[in-house]
Amino acid sequence: MGKYFHTPDGSFEALHDISFGAAAGEFVAIVGASGCGKSTLLRIIAGLESLSSGAVLVDQRAIAGPDRDRAMVFQDYSLYPWLTVLGNIRFSQRLRANGRDRRGADAGGAAERSLLLLELMGLQRVRDAYPNELSGGMRQRVAIARALLNQPELLLMDEPFGALDAQTREVMHDLILHIVAFERRTIVFVTHDVEEAVYLADRVIVLAPGPGHVDSIWATELPPAAERTQEMKRAPEFLVIERRILDRIRATSGVQKDLDALHRLTRGSTAA
Amino acid sequence: MWTIRGPLDRRLYGAIAVGSFALWLLVWWAVAALQIVDPLFLPGPGAVLRRFVTWWRDGDLLQDARISVFRVMAGFLASAALALPLGLAIGAYRPVRAFFEPLLEFSRYLPAVAFVPVVLLWAGIGEASKITVIWIGTFFQMVLMLSEDVARVPVPQVDAARTLGATGPEVVALVLLRSALPAMFDTLRITLGWAWTYLVVAEMVAADSGLGYAILKAQRFLQTDRIFVGIIVIGLIGLATDQALRWCHRRLFPWAGVRAT
């Protein structure tokens, strides 16, 4: 099972000639400077935006719009306020695509799985709470559980922890690794946080802007998900990869020009 | 207390509100009692209250109120019955919006009053013509506001459903409608208030009963106290329905806030 895509996109060329693949069960992170088009790329994979040329292939079949095989987790505001936590997680069961009209054993299976996900995400205590009563971290856990209920082939995550504070983010990282070890799903994860990308992923793809294109691809070469720990974020190998990726992003983002200008400013004022 | 958007103790808020109401009542009473304005133009609260009592006891205030409520509710519900599905469609699908928006944006400025003679010709002198006037006054604003409520559903809610396998109609029914429902309910509450302001216009169309009719008749005989009673009764009914709908909103949608208007 694999996924490939090639994509130029739009009359304003947002993405140019992107081509890469992900193997089954692989965790691929996409990072890059602002405006490089990583969210656009993810949305194209999800089928929420269209391609100008090329195709997204899942298992060698071209996709045609969004579907349940590519579930997506958004940064915020995606939960349904009129449903409880459990209601949100089970939402997909109301859709015909997921066998809304099915009866018997299959339907029971989904109910069981939703309770399992509730436990996996640590949401048992809030199963009957409404989203507006939850913290940002808990809401994202619900969003992830909701996306996982129907066992999608691909889990897409668009900066899911971007709105969370650093401590919550650390907890979420280990939660994701826990899920990856448990569920073995193919994941494509967009983030601007390089440390997060290296910690979670098997491979990190660096996208550069102007127009968006693949700059480099890095293998993280860390132990399997189940064995990763927060201490590894300080290991030399980890820091090396992280530093190199950050340098690539800086080189492609135009931040260097801003820094040079800033240096000239401050040097000028001390001279005066 | 005077910091912008600062909090205010609930009891103090209540005290100011009650005090303000009492103040205006006092000003009204004083202006009338001191005859600063001709009592013909401005009857005092006492005269208005007396007229209310006699109208209720000897006249047919209750019947007039009942028929007026019927007309307003009928016109309002007829508006809602068409505006809800249309507003949903316009908010959900851009081509539908493109098709209807120019027409609707233009129509909302048409003065309902100007339609009275035309409605008389079209719908006759029965209840239908009065209900039609109220419909004209409310429908266009309602559709546009409802479509805005639907358009304001956060995009991630829609996108999430699509990536879970929802079809277009499923997104409309299970996400857009459910998500926009609190706002749409509020829109209905607000437009019901406006519907009441069209009552007098509606009852210009060959009416022989109703609060608006009574006010119009009182105008002809310069019975300003009767006019005041009519206006105040309409205002009170409107206030009562507004509060009732706010209460319903809180019970139906505990997770959503009520709009400030």
Strands A154-158 and A70-73 come out as parallel
Per the CB < 8 A criterion, the answer to whether B255 and A85 are in contact is no
Task: Quote the tokens at residue B112.
Answer: 């309902």
Give the mean model confidence (pLDDT) for residues A168-180. Answer: 91
**Per-residue pLDDT tens digits for B28-41:** 999 888 888 888 88
| DSSP secondary structure letters along A30-55 | EEESTTS-HHHHHHHHHTSS--SSS-
Q: Which residues of B touch A (CB under 8 A)?
A: 154, 156-157, 159-167, 170, 174-175, 178-179, 181, 253-256
Q: Taking Cα atoms as reference points, which of A3, A2, A5 lies closest to residue A212?
A: A5
Q: What pLDDT score was predicted for residue B75? A: 95
pLDDT for residue A223 is more than 60: yes
Q: Which of A48, A91, A132 sits opposite B164 (nearest CB)?
A: A91
Mean pLDDT, chain B, rounded, equals: 90
Rounded distance, CA B74 to CA B45, Å?
32
Q: What pLDDT score was predicted for residue A269? A: 56
Rounded CA Rg of chain B: 22
User: Searching chain B, which residue's CA lies closest to the CA of residue A156?
Assistant: B163
User: Searching chain B, which residue's CA lies closest to the CA of residue A43?
Assistant: B159
Q: Which of B156, B162, B255 sits opposite A81 (nearest CB)?
A: B255
Q: What pLDDT score was predicted for residue B151? A: 95
**Per-residue pLDDT tens digits for A176-222:** 998 888 888 899 999 999 999 999 999 999 998 878 888 888 898 88
CB atoms closer than 10 angstroms to residue B82: 14
Cβ contact, residue pair B165, A98, below 8 Å: yes
Question: Which amino acid makes up residue A234?
Answer: R
Q: What pLDDT score was predicted for residue A270? A: 53
Number of alpha carbons in the 13 Å side-chain half-sphere of residue B251? 6
CATH superfamily of B43-252: MetI-like (1.10.3720.10)
Query: pLDDT per position in chain B (261 positions), as tens?
Result: 788 888 888 889 899 999 999 999 999 999 888 888 888 888 889 999 999 999 998 878 899 999 999 999 999 999 999 999 999 999 999 999 999 989 988 888 888 888 888 888 888 888 899 999 999 999 999 999 999 999 999 999 999 999 999 999 999 999 999 999 999 999 999 999 999 999 988 888 778 889 999 998 999 998 999 999 999 999 999 999 999 999 999 999 988 866 655
**Per-residue pLDDT tens digits for A68-91:** 999 999 999 999 999 999 999 999
Q: What pLDDT score was predicted for residue A266? A: 84
Strand-pairing partners, residue A28, are A188, A203
CA-to-CA dists, residue A75 to A181, B9, B154, angstroms: 23, 37, 12
Question: Which amino acid makes up residue B19?
Answer: G
**CB contacts, 8 Å: A77 with chain B:** 154, 156-157
Tell me the CATH number for domain A2-271. 3.40.50.300
Q: What percent of chain B has pLDDT over 70?
A: 98
**Element of type H or E holding A189:** strand A186-190
